[in-house]
A = this chain, B = another copy of it.
Amino acid sequence: MYRSEPVTIDCLQYCNWSSSIYDQMAAGSVDAVHVTICYHENFVDTVKNIEDWNRRFQRYPERLMLGRTAEDILSAKAKGKTAIFFGFQNCTPIEDDIHRIEIFHQLGVRIMQLSYNNQSLLATGCYEQDDGGITRMGRQVIQEMNRVGLLIDMSHSAERSTLEAIEHSTRPISITHANPFSWHPTLRNKSDTVLRALAESGGMLGLSLYPHHLKNGSNCLVEEFCQMVAITADNFGVDHIGIGSDLCQDQPDHVVDWMRNGRWTRDKDFGEDPSSYAGFPDDLTWFKDNRDFGSLRKGLNAVGFDAAEINQIMGGNWLEFFRQSFGPRPSS
């Protein structure tokens, strides 16, 4: 399965970006990161977020480059840079305009979630009481995402919508950051039914290091996490898993408030934080920043993965998957 030199790819981060984080990416030899460029931002605000990234690429050319293709990751690695892949956690930026799928692809966006916690115009989110499945517009948008090569991500979507996205999409889809519900039962984690359908259709799961997705939360041990990775590989295949850390480094607490509440409610929503605490959970002791991927590699080794499998999980699988996913399908 794994056909390239070892790469490290993190398929989700939303940090308070700074030069020290880019230095940590270099120190950790992180070759590519899927970065969130919007939660609830509309079209214009998302374009502004892309402008911010364009300025970062100009300001830190020795550290960062825009990733548009899988090959860009190898190019970044060769130059000691990190390739940054743009992703949306919600479909808000396209508003009600299907033609913006192509516009955003032209602007470098490669991954889009069809919904974020709540109902969207396309699909239901994982915190809704009921899930009506992929909507009329959703079916059209999936077709368009398949056409231009914008990868579908169902990390924050509800069960039925996720199964229907897998069914309607003619290309494999992703869940970039979530864990199995059977390991830690929380609305954001995914059922075995979903994970099986995802793997069988050729899709990819990015395993998450966000404390609310982990057994024992912020106290989860690296051994426990890696044991979960081993079980997930046994159940769904080592070819279908990678890392999507959901690292939210250096973010002030008002950011998680924005993620949860956006502009959709006048009340406060606390997501799944059992304490109704309106802030980020505490960091893991063994995964705090981009220098800590080495501890994961060691942990995976300790639970019995061999070097080739570790390379797959730490980036090789995402690399192959990105090869198939970004851009129009090669004509057969």
Hey, which bits of chain A sit against chain B, CB under 8 A?
A: 40, 42, 92, 95-99, 118-121, 124, 127-133, 135-138, 140, 143-144, 262-267, 269
Contact = CB atoms under 8 A, between A and B. Distances in A.
Nearest to A92: B96
B263 A99 contact: yes
B98 A119 contact: no
Contacts of A95: 42, 95
24 contacts: A42-B96, A92-B96, A96-B262, A96-B263, A96-B264, A97-B263, A98-B266, A118-B135, A119-B132, A119-B138, A120-B121, A121-B121, A121-B264, A124-B132, A127-B136, A129-B132, A129-B136, A130-B133, A131-B132, A132-B132, A136-B265, A137-B265, A140-B265, A140-B266
A128 B132 contact: yes
Contacts of A133: 129-130
A129 B139 CA distance: 12
The oligomer's copy count stands at 2
A153 B229 CA distance: 50
A271 to B, nearest CB: 12
Which of A99, A124, A144, A265 lies at the interface centre, i.e. has the most chain B CB atoms within 10 A of its CB?
A: A265
Contact of A137 (B96, B119, B132, B138): B119
Given A131-B132, A132-B132, A266-B144, A118 B98 contact: no
A264 B100 CA distance: 10
Q: Indicate the member of A96, A124, A140, A143 with the most B CB atoms within 10 Å.
A: A96
A98 B269 CA distance: 14
Nearest to A127: B136
B266 A137 contact: no
A263 B128 CA distance: 26
B132 A130 contact: yes
A267 B139 CA distance: 11
Nearest to A137: B264
Nearest to A143: B266
Contacts of A136: 118-119, 127-129, 264-265, 269
Nearest to A101: B266
A323 to B, nearest CB: 26
A262 B140 CA distance: 13
Given A121-B120, A132-B124, A133-B130, A98 B140 contact: no
